[in-house]
Structure 1
Amino acid sequence: MSILVTAEQLQALLASGDRVVVLDVRWKLGGPPGKPLYLAGHIPTAVYVDLDTELARHGEKDEGRHPVPLIDDLQRAARSWGIDPGDTVVVYDDLSNLSSARGWWLLRNAGITDVRLLDGALGAWIAAGYELETGDVRPTPGSVTLEYGSLPTLDGDGAAALASTGVLLDARAPERFRGEVEPMDPRAGHIPGARNAPAAANVDASGRFLPADELRARFEALGVRDDRPVGVYCGSGVTAAADAVALTLAGFAPALYPGSWSAWSNTPGRPVATGA
């Protein structure tokens, strides 16, 4: 099943009359809020999805800043977005899919098989000359049934072990990985043994994912191999999903640590490494 859809392909899907649910997941660390941007202009039929409240839940500090939502809550939200069994779901943002990848990963992990990312994000749609619509879209509720377990995940112990037995990638910016700055979490640095693979480097200047062979070469340079398990984390499990997308495009099967650094750094006794 394809992961990416171009603006031209999405426009054709919408024009065809086939079942396709479009989700707008505009979100940025520290804001601004995505809903006003969505209301001002979004892809026709797109439903706004709030990452903080619908693609995450509030938990204890050692669960991280964006714990995975309870399956009943995610199912309730997915039905409110109009998703029925068998639907094609297309997710986008305005940040090179660094935010919307969270929606892709969650819905894929919850059992929806045909979830795609708009390659190049909202900018690609606008660059292609397609129209935007304003206001809120409230679809007829759907009937999809969700269950987690379709994609591999890691907890803190699993991430620590993978750093020794396989390759554990950290999707954050290099300065956060090295521990030079930490704007959000109580300790700076990274999980010992992890290697830095910033999610922003998976896309070109237009926000489109690099070709699969280039992505594969990038990850192989970090030690990723077909015969070694690979996992990924970030600050709170959001941009890690963008690395998971890129790894999947490159032909690997990554596990994701949803708690990520925000959970690790809030757990007493977890060691911290700094530097490159």
Structure 2
Amino acid sequence: MNILIDAAGLNARMASGQRTVVLDVRWKLGDPDGRSRYLEEHIPGAAYVDLPSELADPADPGRGRHPLPSRARFQEAARSWGISDGDTVVAYDDAGSTSAARVWWMLRNAGVRTVHLLDGGLAAWRAAGLPVEGGAVEPEAGNVTLTDGGMPVTDADGAASWAAGGVLLDARAAERYRGDVEPVDPRAGHIPGAVSAPTTANLDDDGRFLPAEELRKRFGALGVDTATPTAVYCGSGVTASHEIAALEIAGFAATLFPGSFSEWSNDASRPVATGDRPGE
């Protein structure tokens, strides 16, 4: 299945009346109020998805800053966005799909077969000269039945030993990986053995994903190949989902550590490495 859809493709689906649920997932670390920007303008018919309240449970030191919600909670939210069984879903944001990828991963994990990311997000839609609208959209409730386990996950113990037989990628900014700064989590640095692979390097200057061949080269240089198990974490499991999407575009499967560094760094028994190298 193609992960990405471009603005022309989405517009064609909508114009032809093909059943398409469009989700606006605008959210950024340090600037979480995407709803106000959504109310100003969004793709016509798009429902707003509030990442902190609908794509996560409340923060928990033992589970991270954005723990995955229960299947029942997520199903309730998905139905409120208008998703029914068999629907095609397209998610977008205004940050290179870095937040939209969270709902992409969660819906895929929950058994929704056809989920796309709008490549380039709202900026690409505007650049194509396509219309936007303001105000809130209140979709008719859907009937989707969600499952669980559609995407591989690991826990802190798995992350601790992952690098011994595979590649563990840290999707955060390089300065956070090195431990130069840590704006939100209790300790600075990275999980020992992890390789720095900032999510932003998956994108071009317009916020679109790099071509598959370029992504293959990028991840190959980091030690990723089809025979080596790959796992990804970030701060709280959000941008790691984006990295998993980029890996899939490149032809690689990857496992998510949902609690990510926010869970790891809250556990004083877990070691933290600093500097440019993976550490031990």
Above 0.5 in TM-score?
A: yes
Are 1:84 and 2:84 counterparts?
yes
1:157 alignment counterpart: 157
Q: Percent identity?
A: 61
- For the residues of structure 2 that align with 1:35 and 1:21, how far apart are their CA atoms? 18
1:232 alignment counterpart: 232
Deviations 1:133-159 (A, max 9, x none): 110000110000011101101110111
- For the residues of structure 1 that align with 2:152 and 2:259, how far apart are their CA atoms? 14
- For the residues of structure 2 that align with 1:237 and 1:60, how far apart are their CA atoms? 13
- Partner SS, residue 163 of structure 2: helix
Q: Which runs of 5+ in 1 are unaligned?
A: none
Matched residue type, 1:160: A
- For the residues of structure 1 that align with 2:126 and 2:32, how far apart are their CA atoms? 20
Q: Kindly state the Cα deviation for residue 59 of structure 1 after the two structures are TM-superposed.
A: 4.4
- For the residues of structure 2 that align with 1:63 and 1:192, how far apart are their CA atoms? 19
The root-mean-square deviation of aligned C-alpha atoms, in Å, is: 0.7
Q: Kindly state the Cα deviation for residue 60 of structure 1 after the two structures are TM-superposed.
A: 2.3
- Partner SS, residue 22 of structure 2: strand
- For the residues of structure 1 that align with 2:249 and 2:32, how far apart are their CA atoms? 30
2:94 alignment counterpart: 94
- For the residues of structure 2 that align with 1:211 and 1:273, how far apart are their CA atoms? 32
TM-score (norm 1): 0.99
- For the residues of structure 1 that align with 2:82 and 2:93, how far apart are their CA atoms? 19
2:28 alignment counterpart: 28
Matched residue type, 1:110: A
- For the residues of structure 2 that align with 1:225 and 1:271, how far apart are their CA atoms? 27
TM-score (norm 2): 0.98
2:106 alignment counterpart: 106
2:206 alignment counterpart: 206
- For the residues of structure 2 that align with 1:65 and 1:80, how far apart are their CA atoms? 24
Aligned residues: 276
Are 1:191 and 2:218 counterparts?
no
Matched residue type, 2:110: A
After TM superposition, the runs of 4+ consecutive aligned structure 1 residues lying more than 3 A away are none
Q: Which runs of 5+ in 2 are unaligned?
A: none
Alignment of 1:41-56 (within 5 A): 41-56=41-56
2:74 alignment counterpart: 74
Matched residue type, 1:4: L
- For the residues of structure 1 that align with 2:189 and 2:28, how far apart are their CA atoms? 22
- Partner SS, residue 165 of structure 1: coil
Deviations 1:54-78 (A, max 9, x none): 0001142121000001110000000
2:177 alignment counterpart: 177
Matched residue type, 1:134: G
- Partner SS, residue 37 of structure 2: helix
Q: Kindly state the Cα deviation for residue 32 of structure 1 after the two structures are TM-superposed.
A: 4.8
